Amino acid sequence: MSEDLTRLSAVRLARAVRDGEASAEDVVRAHLRRIEDKDPQIKAFLTLTADAALSQARAVDEKRRRGATLGALAGVPVAIKDNIQVAGVETTCASRMLKGHVAAYDATCVARLKAADAVLLGKTNLDEFAMGSSTENSAFGRTANPWDLSRVPGGSSGGSAAAVAARMAPLALGSDTGGSIRQPAAFCGVVGLKPTYGRVSRYGLVAFASSLDQVGPFAGTVEDAALAFSVVAGHDPMDATSARRPAPPARIPVPADLKGVRVGLPREYFVEGLDPEVERAIRSAVETLKSLGATIKEVGLPHTKHAISTYYIIAPSEASANLARFDGVRYGFVDRGAKTLEEVYEFTRGAGFGPEVKRRIMLGTYALSSGYYDAYYAKAQRARTLIARDFRDAFAEVDLIAGPTAPTAAFRFGEKTDDPVAMYLSDVFTIPSNLAGNASLSVPCGLTAGGLPLGLQLIADAFQEERLLAVAGAFEAARACLFWPGESPGNPSK
């Protein structure tokens, strides 16, 4: 086919491969060339599995030649965040602690991608152990935002977001513990979906905070995100937290209008600290929803003000427990200079973990320690219950909640690294959904005067992804605001 294959959506690519318009091998080679051209500047990938990807593509083509039924993602290249296990491929979590660790099995979400005939391109960069909001905390170098190489792509799934934004992959998987899919999606001008907690199996995801982590897709379009979600979602007996819900349909019909849809605007999301350009873009996006027939209503989420402090007790506490296994004894990095068992622990963890991971381990260990558990962790869990109750009360009045994904557009490298609190506030609007466990996504909604993308966050009640994707699709169609696979002046991802 004459079109540039890297400009086609995942839905279009899968159809082209199924119909014989393009071979899976040609699709993969086009994206590998794109990676060769763009990734030296962006550095989205930590590991590129080119030979394996071409082998998978040829297997898809052979399957088609035999007349076998092809999967929903036939020949579609997918990038995988490097905290998700892919058998036979290094899984580092962007940490020295796991450098050289080769996965022995596929995560369930990866196995489902393979079963759908997707082609895995490689593993993408992230903040170490998914702890960060900028992908500056990686032990193997930072990833740049394709829209402005001097700025961050967001985090922790910055590599996956950048790979999709730069058209190096039409789809990517990330994980979202406090905004790690939605915030980089907003910064990079792509769609990012955080499903309901338990909707996608966490088996094979290296745990950060087990009660918060959720796997989800990045895509150039809402339709592509829905397709990817339909493939990876569904009950998994290997994950005790997996919800007994079937996978959603691959195609979510986009309504012609939004009549009858009630959209809530939380007053707590339009506060001091929200960049005026972001607020203007979000209010404009809300006007678009209104013009489509949606009813707009102000709602209250009064305990939002406690979300950051609650999260930074619960998440580090769970991280300190989950990361205790990385001790230099069982697997991963070990400091060979240690002479005693105590030194093995001390030297290995001291050298293997980066500063942000150490900070969070210490915060969590302190919060769980004797005499402080009730004062911090138990109190945070009570606050979490109140935050979840706020959403439950709001969804009794509205169908969806709309607001900003992040308080600013993508910031410059180094701008917040010396101020952890300022960095943490990058996730002030995304963290509440993780604490409540509901479904949410970020969809592009405009550009700053300087040409940086902004994201509209839509939040739905638990297990309401179909409604969420339908409304997002209607908004996307009405605004024609896509930046991928469309172009924007000055976008270095061209």
Residues with catalytic annotation? Answer: 81, 156, 180
Separation CA 346–CA 459 (nearest Å): 43
What is the β-pairing status of strands 215-219 and 119-124? Answer: unpaired
Task: Look up residue 468 and give its amino acid.
Answer: L
Work out the angle between the directed axes of helices 10-19 and 50-65 (0-180°, nearest 10): 50
Report yes or no: 214 and 176 within 8 Å, Cβ to Cβ. yes
Separation CA 459–CA 176 (nearest Å): 14
Q: Which of 140, 156, 64 is nearest to 95 (CA)?
A: 140
Separation CA 316–CA 367 (nearest Å): 8
What are residue 200's phi and psi, to 5 degrees? Answer: -120, 130
**Angstrom distances, CA of residue 230 to CA of 70, 226, 429:** 16, 6, 26
Radius of gyration of the chain (CA): 21
Q: Which of 115, 116, 50 is nearest to 89 (CA)?
A: 50
Q: What is the 3-state secondary structure (H, E, C) of 74-88?
A: CCCEEEEECCECCCC
